Amino acid sequence: MAVSFRQLRESAPGVFGDGCPTRTVLDHVMSKWGVLVLMALTDGTARWGELKRTVDGVSEKMLASTLRTLVDDGLVARVSYPEVPPRVEYSLTARGEELMARMMPLMAWIGDNADDILAR
């Protein structure tokens, strides 16, 4: 394997310790709705209503709080147009694209193997 947990920890002591920044970011991007929203945005810019439809099962409350967290983290950009009716567009930032470039291979593998994994 290219990199181990030990190597990660030794490259930056304290990383992945209880309550450290890495754990916080981990909770944001690996959260149930966080991953799904980020994945939906790999399709490109999307409006609120699109996201609500694409991210199957998400409540308005969770979509709102998930998006706010990801915007605060600088992973998602929010652009609101002063029109009537309102239009708001979400997209990945450059940083978000970097993250998803690393996450999508993992998601593809999970998609390919999920059935096998649960067939036990």
Query: Would the CA dihedral through 71, 72, 75, 77 be positive or negative?
Result: positive
Interacting stretch for DNA, rule CB under 7 A, among 27-35, 36-44, 98-106, 107-115? 27-35
Q: Residue 35's CB: how many other CB atoms inside 10 A?
A: 19
How many residues comprise the chain? 120
Binding residues for a copy of itself, rule: CB under 8 A, are 1-6, 8, 11-12, 15-22, 24-27, 29-32, 35-36, 39-43, 54, 56-57, 72-75, 95, 97-111, 113-115, 117-118, 120
Tokens of 54: 């694409």
> Quick check: 39 binds DNA (CB under 7 A)?
no
Partner in contact with 37, chosen from DNA, a copy of itself, none, beta carbon below 5 to 8 Å by kind: none
Nearest CA-CA partner of 94 in 41, 21, 22, 16: 41
Output the smallest distance, CB 48 to a copy of itself, in A. Answer: 17
Residue 64's binding partner among a copy of itself, DNA, none (Cβ under 5 to 8 angstroms by kind) is DNA
- Token pair, residue 1, equals 């394997």
Contact pick of 45, 80, 106, 110 for DNA (by CB under 7 A): 80
Q: Would you call 15 exposed, middle or buried from its count of C-beta atoms within 10 A (0-12, 13-18, 19+)? A: middle
Q: Which two tokens stand for residue 14?
A: 């304290």
Residues in touch with DNA (CB under 7 A): 31-33, 47-49, 57-62, 64, 67-68, 78, 80, 85-88
